[in-house]
Every structure is written in structure tokens, then in C-alpha cells.
Structure 1
Amino acid sequence: MPDALTDLAPVSPPRTPARRSAGLGEALRWTAFRMLERLSDWRGNNTQGVFALSDPQARGPALWLYVTTIGELNAVAPMLEWLVAQRPDLRPVLITEHAHYQEAYLARLPGAVVCLTRGHSLDARKLAAQLPPQVLALAEIPCLPSDAPCRFSYAFLREARRCGASTLLLNGWLYHYAPPARLDQVERQLLEADFLRALDVLCVQDAATAQILAGRGAAEDRLVVTGNMKFDAMQRPHWQVSQARSPGLLGALIEAGRPTVVGGCVTELAEQQAVLGAFQRLRQQHPQALLILAPRHPENRERMQALLAQVEAQDLRWVRRSAVPDAALPESVNCLVLDTVGELRDFYAAASVAHVGVDHNVLEPLGLGKPLTIQEGWNTTYPSYPVYRLLRDQGVLHSCADEAALHAYWRAAIEGAASVQDDLRRTEEVLSALRGSVARHQQACLPWVAR
């Protein structure tokens, strides 16, 4: 990510891309790893037996895409849409280890196939046999094997190379995580440099990431500092409520104009309690106020029960999004619990003011021009941190230490305070200066994507 609010210089990709052979050393290292993986299989490797396709009959040349979460899919969507448009001859295949993302992924890319896998080598071979890739794009992470709380194994990258696919890293960034399991540790030790050399172009967010990857085996002539495309992706000037998955409910909320607080990805119980307490204070001045509360992992029953217990204790009239029709909410409802996957980004459009939970995506509400609050305590290893750090350093994130501070800012935002309008103008100035990464990505990747 650039340190100053200036555009990065245009990139200069290779004019005539040349493929590089892996070599005998890589083949020997891969053979050693496969022997260890087979031993792990015999002992009960939990990456086995997960492989599934949303369309089991799908066949033909493919564009493989690895995106870790719904948030990351939204963050790199302009680039993925460009790739799909560049190669309409290829069937998009979204690779994931999260079955509960399938519906949201297909809503974003309706023509895609979702491949569920935990990264076993045999899964990579099966997928390549059925949907052989011509292009593979890794979106944001992992830049290194097992450098994230998700798993994209070298096996998939190797199969893509074996099929002759171009291999692209988009919006690259490092978590600096240690591999979680013994076999993952071995994979990194044996195959890290091969992983990096198997990528034709590595688009990374900042010079520090480029320097680290070069030191660990990436070819410097394949590294391109492009900035962070999240600043482009969160622009939504042409968004319409008809594009949402719940247009009836969301459209009615926007039309009603109720004072609405959207709390997105509020996962920690202490922060949830602060949000609920601030909302109760807000209702004293605005009795018709509505709280839309979106937990990070609605599929986690224990977490949901704890959240709902807190809501119940506040004596709010609440409903789950999954339990109501796509129609206007009754005016008596004080709290909508957004327990569906992939809808939060659209529901920010109904916000009078938004609050984003620690370690999550502040750009989604900011991209819609919404006033925003956060709390402190962000983890430097999370993918949201680079954006948080930059915007914090530019003074455009409003941090609230407790429920009293949250209430004060929310009330000011709802009542149109001049100070909040000044915050919004300053935020837009900063965001505008940080855009342009998608164009740099396209320039760097075009030689590898064109037929």
C-alpha cells in the first residue's frame, strides 16, 4: 500500500510473457511431499473426502478463482469481473473450503461452479481433469503456503501449471501466520519457493510485501506493486436496491427513512454489548430507531445464541432475517438480526450511520458514503488491517471507546451535525486519492490473460 496519498507509477508488464519450467528439483520436492501426504492420509488426514462441485456435470476449460471470504470476493470483484469478461470462453470456478459461502458466491457470479475442497492433492487432480484451468487467479491471499486461516495448497497451483494455465496473484498481502498443522509446515519448508516461482505475475499491495516475497523466492521481474484494489471495489455509484438479494425488505427500509444503525460483523460479546447499550440510549431521542445487527459467522450456533441472549436481555422486539419474508418490517420491530450470508454489504445502504466490528471491512459502508464508528483493538495480521491502518493514520476513522461515545456520534449523524458532514467530505477526499489499483492490476495481468 502506498505510504502517501498519491497514485502509484504505471506498471510495465512483460510484453511477451515467457513460461518457466519447474525443473528437476521441484519434481523431487513434490514427490517427497506427496509421500508425506499419503502417510498423513493413512493416519487420518482431515483434508480428504471433502471434494464437491456445485455443478457435478460441469466440463470444459476453466478460469480458476480462489477467494477466501465473501468480503474478499466483494473486494476484488471488479478484477474478477474483468477476468471473466476477458475470457468468456472459460467457465469460472470458485474454489473454497467453506460450504456455507456457495449461495453467496453463485449470487455474485451466477455462471460459476463452486468447488468445495480443503486442498488435498487428489482434489486438485480431480478438478483439473474435469475443469482444466487456462487461467488461475489467487485473490489477495495466500502469498505463501498456509499464510492464512484458510488453505490453498501448492497442489492446485501445480495442477494449473501442468495444464498450461497463466497464474496470477491479485492484491497480494501477507498475514505472517505460522502453518497450523505439521503437513502444512512441511509444505511451506519444501515448496514455498516453488509456490512463488509458479506465479506468472504477483500484484502486491505495497513495497514491503514485494521485498519480503522477493527474499523468499519470487522473481523480482514478476512482482508489481499495485496498491490495494479494495479502494476501487467499494465504490458503488450505480448501485440500485433491485440488485440486492432482499429488495422488498431493503427497499421498504430505505423508503421509510427510519433512523437506522447497521452494526456489521460485530463478533466480540463486549463490543456487541456496547452497540446494544448505545442503541438503547439512542432510542430515548429516536424511539423509531432500528438496529440491524450482523454477526460475523451466523452459521456458528453457539455465537448466535450468545448474541441473541444479549438482544433478549435488552427487551428489544427483534426478528431474524432468515425467518421473515422479503417485505417491509413491522414498525414495532426494533432489531433485525442479519443471520444470512452475503447481504450485509447491501444493507449498509439503509444505514443512517454504521458501526463496523473490530478487524472487519470499513470500506463497505464508506463506499456508500455512510458515517462510521469503530472501536480499537485491531489485529495486525488480519486482511482488514492495512486499510484500517491507512485510514486511521489519515484521521478519517471515528473510534469510540464506549457506548456513551457511540451514542453521541450516532445521534450527531442521525441529526445531521455539521461535524459529521465534515468527516464524510474528508473521508471521500482520502478514498479518492487511494483509488486506481484495478487499472494497474489489469495492465499487469493483460499479457497473461489475453488469448
Structure 2
Amino acid sequence: MSVRRYYTWLMRLALPLALARLYWRSLRTPAYRARIGERLAWSSAPAPRAEIWIHAVSVGEVQAAAPLVRHLLARIPTRRILVTTTTPTGADRVRELFGDCVAQHYLPFDLPSIVGRFLTQAQPQCLIVMETEIWPNLLAACAERGIPAVLANARLSAQSARGYARLPQLTRTTLAHFTAIAAQTAADAERFIALGAAPARVTVMGNLKFEQIPPADAQRRAAVVRESWGGAARPVWVAASTHEDEEAQLLAVHQQLRTQLPNALLVLVPRHPERFERVAALITRQNLTSARRSAQVKNPSKFPFEPWELIPAETAVFLGDSMGELPLLLAAGDVAFIGGSLVRVGGHNPLEAAAVGVPVIIGPHTFNFAAITEWLIDAGAAVQIADTEALEKQLQQWLMNAALRAEIGEHGRRMVEENRGALVRLVELLDAVTARCAAANLMI
């Protein structure tokens, strides 16, 4: 029996557990309970027909895919594009960014029968997988149907590579189904090749996240937000995409910071919406006065949300418990701390803050974005701290020196601008792939 057959049997055994996990998560986030049929390809609303299928797990991958989707729509506005996600927050972000211009569906579970039904429904001519989604049965089914698959903006940390290396035959066979792998960095490319990807199919393309250009009205909108927080004279730091066991440390840092800067405001933005209520309760237990963005949002179904209400000067913490507004919150702040880096999550994308000229502080755990973190530090746009004591000192230094903040923020903005170009290279690669796969009869 082949290794993939063993994998398939394990996936069959795990399916009830996967469904149970969705139900458990839905107790806090009801959206996980909706549209279950899509994940089984048994929906009363089957996957829509699509020329191009893009898979992006959640919000971060959707953000990375956004420049590519915009390019594809601009090139041929009538093109049918399907974007699949795994999480409801990812699905919501697709709708916020593109509305009805693209179709959105949940990714089916990786079993041959389910994947087969999905492909029969959607009949894609090309699959573009964002970052590090490597599903053996899905990729094998695409290969059997002659559907070219490209792993775009591909990243693979050393930790993840060690995990895949434990199943060398399955990993090597699965990677062989990718027509091309567009890696973010040379280190990522080397790891894919070490796992068995054909060197001729692996190319270093850069990072699509450098392609994210702030909206033309970003500064105007950020100024409105900042006025609602008390204006430019008030020190504001944004803790973005924070995790369990991290918020308590950040709140303690903020309490200490306020002994030196009594009017300092912490804008706290948890990574996962199902944790919003728990974080709000944590803030209350810490005896910190707070305001919540959700209390200001009159119509959560409409994005972007307006208006921004003035918060009292004594407010110590502003909880950013809304979806899709993090870039705006970052642009309105003085300093950004990137969450998931004080705990062993591996950090999140710091480029959103750098792109809007905000100095970046990153904790010790950055293996998910190691290369980008190193680039920002080398460019003088970010500082990596070892612990909360160092974080408090760095915040105090930057929040008390506007000229220094402006200089560091400009380093970041310039670094992002100079590294753009991944989108052009990726589009050229996709055109070459579809030209080689003449059976697809598709020019991207």
C-alpha cells in the first residue's frame, strides 16, 4: 500500500474529529458551524465554475493574494475567479476586499471522493495555492485531471521543513504535483528542494506582501482615527495580532509604561475573533479602563466601518475587536508591536506596519517571518526585543521621540517600496506555466 493510501485512511478516520473540532470552535464563533456542506462538497450551493482557483487559508494569505487577484481582474474583468479559504475570517476578508467580483468557498477536506466532487463542480483550469498549503490528495487529483498547480508566495520555515521531512516519500511525491513553486526567499527555495521538489520547478520570486499598497485615502482615514483617540499629542502603540498568554504580558508592560507616560494608549488587536470577549475580560481584571471598537460599529455587515467615536482621555486600552481594520489601526499608531512573537507562535507579518511608516518592535519568536524580520532590522526599520522589560524600554524611547520615530518609519516605508516586484515575476511565471500546459487553454 502506498504512503498516500495510508494518509487517506488516516484522513478518513480523522474526518469525524475534524467535524467535531469545527463544532467546538463554533461554540465561540458560530460561523464555523455554517456552510459545513462546502467542506464536504455536498452543499446545496455547489462550488461555482471557475477558470482560476486560488486557495488562501485565512486572513494573512488572503491579504497576500489580494494584489494578484486585483491584477487578474484588471487584466480580464470577466474572468471567473474562485477563492477558497479554511477559516470564516478568511472568507469574510475575501468578501470585504472583492465583494461579488470573485466567488468564495471553503476548501474541501482532503479525501479523494470529496476533492473529486469539488473539482467536478468547479472545473478549474489552474490552481494557485498561497504560501504553504500542501494537501496530497487535492494535488494528486489536480495532476490526474491535468490542472496545473502553482505554489505561490511559498514559504517554509526550518521548523515546518523538519516536520515534512518525517514523511519523505509522501512529501516528495506531493511536491512533484506542483507545476511550479514560487518561493519567497532563497532559504525557502532550498528547503523545498531538500524535501524533494525538482530544482527546475523552484524559483525565488520575492514576497507578494511587499505588493500591498495602502489605499489613497489611508492617511486621511488614519488621521480621523487618531483624532478619536485624542490626537497626535497622545502616545499610542498598537499590539497587532496577539495570542493567548501574550495579552497579559502586554497589559503589564502598558501599566508600567503609564507610570512614565500617564496618557499612553494601547490599541490591542487579538489575532482570533473568538478570543475578543476573553481579552476584554482580561483587560477588566487588570483594572484598566478600556473602550471597544465593536461598541462603535453600527453595521458590522458593512465594510469599512464608520464612524470613529471620541474615547475619553482616561481610557488606557482600546480593544480592536473588529475584522479588516488592522491596517488602519496600524497607520494611526506611533509604534507597532507584532504579536505571536512573545509566545512561540512564530510571529506575524510586520510589513503592514512598515508600509505605512510605523516603527516596528518584534519579540524573540519570529520563525514564521524570519527573513522579513531580518530585512527590517537590517534596514533600521525594526527592533527585536528579548523580553517584556526590553519591550517597555523600547516603547518608552520611541514614544518620547517623534523625530526618531519618523526616521525609523521612513526606513520601513522605503524598504517596502524597494522590494516590490514579486507580482510582476509571479505573473510572468504563471503565463509561462499556462503556456506549457496548453491543455488548460488559459492565459493568465
TM above 0.5, yes or no, is yes
Shift of 1:87: 5.2
- The SS at the match of 2:141 is helix
Taking the aligned partners of 1:72 and 1:418, their CA distance within structure 2 comes to 34
Go from structure 1 to structure 2 and tell me whether the alpha carbon gap of 1:260 and 1:379 turns closer, same or farther (over 3 Å shift). closer
- Letter of the 1:128 counterpart: L
Cα deviation code 1:388-424 (max 9, x no counterpart):
1332345532234555654554455445443333323
Question: SS of the residue aligned with 1:316?
Answer: coil
Q: Residue 364 in 1 paired to residue 352 in 2?
A: yes
Aligned to 1:56: 45
1:123 aligns with 114
With structure 1 as the length reference, what TM-score do the two structures score?
Answer: 0.75
- Name which of 95, 99, 105 aligns with 1:106: 95
Distance 1:99 1:60 in 2: 21
Q: Identity rate of aligned residues, in percent?
A: 25
Equivalent residue number for residue 334 of structure 1 = 316
Alignment of 1:270-419 (within 5 A): 271-283=246-258, 287-300=262-275, 305=278, 307-325=279-297, 326-332=306-312, 333-357=315-339, 358=341, 359-375=347-363, 377-380=364-367, 382=368, 384-401=369-386, 405-419=390-404
Counterpart amino acid of 2:117? K
Cα distance in structure 1, aligned partners of 2:48 and 2:273: 33
Distance 1:437 1:363, change over 3 A: same
Q: Report deviation, 1:137.
A: 0.5
> 3-state SS of the aligned residue for 1:328?
coil
Q: Which moved more, 1:322-331 or 1:352-361?
A: 322-331
1:260 match = 236
Give 1:369 shift: 0.5
**CA displacement at 1:38 relative to structure 2:** 4.8
- 2:240 corresponds to 1:226: no
Counterpart amino acid of residue 266 in structure 1 = T
Q: Which residue of structure 2 aligns with residue 238 of structure 1?
A: 216
Taking a change above 3 Å as real, the CA distance of residues 134 and 171 of structure 1, as seen in their structure-2 partners, is same
- Aligned pairs for 1:189-228 within 5 A: 189-228=168-207
Q: Distance in 2 between matches of 1:448 and 1:254?
A: 50
Q: Can you give the 5+ residue segments of structure 1 that lack an aligned partner in the other structure?
A: 1-27, 146-152
Post-superposition Cα deviations, 1:274-297, rounded to whole Å, max 9, x if no partner, equal 432443355456555432101122
Moved more, 408-417 or 433-442: 408-417
* Conserved 8 A contact 1:98-1:116: no
- Residue type at the aligned position of 2:8: E
Aligned letter for 2:307? A
Paired residue for 1:94? 83
- Given that 1:261 and 1:355 are in contact with CA atoms closer than 8 Å, whether structure 2 keeps it comes out as yes
- Report 1 or 2 for greater relative contact order, CA contacts < 8 Å, sequence distance ≥ 6: 1
What do the CA deviations read for 1:328-355 (whole angstroms, capped 9, x no partner)?
A: 3343243221223333222212212222
Letter in 1 for 2:70: E
Taking the aligned partners of 1:424 and 1:261, their CA distance within structure 2 comes to 14
Cα distance change on mapping 1:196 and 1:56 into 2, 3 Å: same
Q: What root-mean-square deviation, in Å, do the aligned CA atoms of Structure 1 and Structure 2 show?
A: 3.6
* Equivalence for 1:12: none
- Partners of 2:371 and 2:10 in 1: CA distance: 39
> CA shift at 1:116, angstroms?
4.2
Change (3 A) 1:331 1:286: farther
How far residue 131 of structure 1 moved from its aligned partner, in angstroms, is: 1.0
Deviation digits for residues 99-139 of structure 1 (CA, Å, limit 9, x no counterpart): 34321222123232222433233331122121111111011
TM-score, reference length from structure 2? 0.76
In 2, the alpha carbon distance for the partners of 1:160 and 1:253 equals: 51
1:137 aligns with 2:128: yes
Indicate conservation of the 8 Å contact 1:55/1:113, yes or no. no
Query: Is contact 2:37–2:44 with CA below 8 Å preserved after alignment?
Result: no
Cα deviations by residue, 1:44-78 (Å, 9 ceiling, x for unpaired): 65357954179925532342112122122213321
Query: Is 1:134–1:160's contact at 8 Å kept on the other side of the alignment?
Result: no
Shift of the 38–83 alpha-carbon distance from structure 1 to 2, 3 Å rule, reads same
Distance in 2 (CA, whole Å) between partners of 1:347 and 1:195 is 40
- SS of 2:356's equivalent in the other structure is coil
Report if the CA contact (8 A) 1:133-1:163 is conserved. Answer: no
Distance of 1:67 and 1:43 partners within structure 2? 22
Please state whether the residue corresponding to 2:150 is helix, strand or coil. strand
Contact 1:196 1:218 in 2 (8 A): yes
Q: Does 1:37 align with 2:8?
A: yes
Corresponding residue SS for 1:444: helix
Establish whether residue 444 from structure 1 lines up as the match of residue 429 from structure 2: yes
